[in-house]
Amino acid sequence: GLRVGVLAVQGDVREHAAILDAAGADVVLVRRPREIDGLDGLVIPGGESTTMDRLTRAFDLADPLRTAIADGLPVYGSCAGMIMLADRIADPARDRRGDPQRSLGGIDMTVRRNAFGRQRDSFEVTLDFTGVGAVPAVFIRAPLAEDVGDAVEVLARTPSDAPAQHPEGLGGPSDAPVVRDTAGRIVAVRSGRLLATSFHPEVTGERRIHDLFIRIIRGEA
């Protein structure tokens, strides 16, 4: 079967592993550089991109992952994983020395973190997802894509009836969502063999996004 890795330094690793396993893939939890070798594809889970950035660098995974992506490894990034796949982060977090968080890159787009607000602003909508159909999608501190390049295909946008966000954020000013108008925002993209979604299919038991990713790996989509 296909060997599909799940980057396992942080985030909802088990949920992705379970869906890939159910889809018949041989799942590899990736924590060391050598575990990248021989993969047919890789999933970068939802979680916290600043932590993933820090840990992938600490475990010497960041550069091998960049090389693998440049060499054509199919990768699916969900939420924080979408941030990791973006060439540019609009509002990177900074560490104590003021250094911005880094992504791995691969998709010619800018992502805006926490664009829809924080945890308590989480919402669910139904998306019209190209090639998949109606997909219920949960957004939790989700990023959105801006400035996508010509090579990037937009697969889904938030619908026109996406809930308006509380203007100041439910948790006070520091929770303020970056965008008030949540309709028509880019929340799923594909660029070659790289796939990214702002939302978490792994938390709703949705399997079709992973099925699409497996078809991308096989060259069938």
Q: Are the C-beta atoms of residues 157 and 185 closer than 8 Å to each other? A: yes
Tokens in use for 132?
């998949």
Identity of the residue, 115 or 194, whose beta carbon is nearer to ligand GLN in the bound complex: 115
Q: How far is the CB of 156 from ligand GLN (least distance, A)?
A: 17
Identity of the residue, 80 or 217, whose beta carbon is nearer to ligand GLN in the bound complex: 80
Stretch of residues binding ligand GLN (CB under 6 A), selected from 29-37, 42-50, 128-136, 158-166: 42-50
Q: How far is the CB of 71 from ligand GLN (least distance, A)?
A: 25
Map residues 68-107 to x or -, x wherever contact with ligand GLN holds by CB under 6 A.
-----------xx--x------------------------
Is 209 assigned a ligand-binding role in the annotation? Answer: no
Q: What is the DSSP string of 175-218?
A: G--S-S--TT-EEEEEETTEEEESS-GGGTT--HHHHHHHHHHH
* Residue 89 exposed, middle or buried by CB count within 10 Å (0-12, 13-18, 19+): buried
DSSP state of 93: -
Choosing from 15, 35, 48, 202, the residue that interacts with ligand GLN (CB under 6 A) is 48
- What's the rounded Cα separation, in Å, for the pair 147 and 81? 18
Across the strands, what pairs with 5? Answer: 28, 42
- What's the rounded Cα separation, in Å, for the pair 218 and 137? 25
Identity of the residue, 93 or 221, whose beta carbon is nearer to ligand GLN in the bound complex: 93
Choosing from 16, 112, 113, 193, the residue that interacts with ligand GLN (CB under 6 A) is 113
Is 103 assigned a ligand-binding role in the annotation? Answer: no
**Residues near ligand GLN, by CB under 6 A:** 46-49, 79-80, 83, 113-114, 140-141
